[in-house]
């Protein structure tokens, strides 16, 4: 008799865990996107850079009230030391970096991290065509054939 009770209890426990997990999977989490507003200098060059970007929610509305967020700049190849700085909010969902620097030419991935409504978020954007400060077509170093017109 006790074996039957144990089987029933285990079966009920399994059903309750399955229902709980299924409910959690159905929860909606807010999505944050990042759009680059400006890059100074423009076109983007290796060296100190000011990035202005806007964060938007899943309805496309600007996100404000966060104060500051973390910004990481990286590239897609191994051995790249990421640049990590803070960005402060200017208003209307626009943030500006403090102390950001492109350390080499090529295409950069910008990752913005923060917390909104108690949930961590991460949003990414690519800035293509960062150039070295020298405008020679035969620039030595790490230039991945940067495009003549940068995109962001």
What does pTM read for this prediction?
A: 0.70
Is there a cis peptide before residue 43, judged by omega within 30 degrees of 0? yes
Specify if 150 maps to a domain: no
The CATH number covering residue 126 comes to 2.60.40.10
Specify if 149 maps to a domain: no
| Full domain range(s) for residue 95 | 33-130
Specify if 137 maps to a domain: no
Specify if 11 maps to a domain: no
**What's the structural domain count of the chain?**
1
What tens digit of pLDDT does each residue of 50-65 get? Answer: 999 999 999 999 999 9
Q: And the tokens for 32?
A: 């944050």
pLDDT of residue 26: 43
């Amino acid at each position: 008799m006790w074996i039957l009770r144990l089987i029933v209890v285990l079966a009920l426990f399994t059903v309750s865990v399955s229902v709980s997990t299924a409910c959690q999977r159905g929860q909606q989490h807010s999505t944050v996107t990042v759009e680059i507003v400006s890059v100074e200098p423009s076109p983007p060059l290796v060296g100190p850079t000011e990035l202005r970007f806007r964060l938007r929610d899943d309805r496309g509305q600007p996100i404000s009230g966060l104060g500051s967020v973390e910004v990481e700049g990286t590239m897609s190849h191994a051995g790249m030391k990421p640049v990590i700085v803070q960005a402060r909010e200017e208003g209307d969902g626009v943030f500006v970096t403090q102390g950001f620097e492109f350390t080499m030419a090529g295409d950069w991935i910008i990752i913005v991290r923060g917390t909104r409504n108690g949930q961590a978020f991460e949003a990414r954007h690519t800035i293509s065509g960062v150039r070295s400060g020298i405008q020679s077509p035969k620039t030595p170093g790490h230039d991945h054939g940067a495009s003549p017109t940068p995109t962001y």
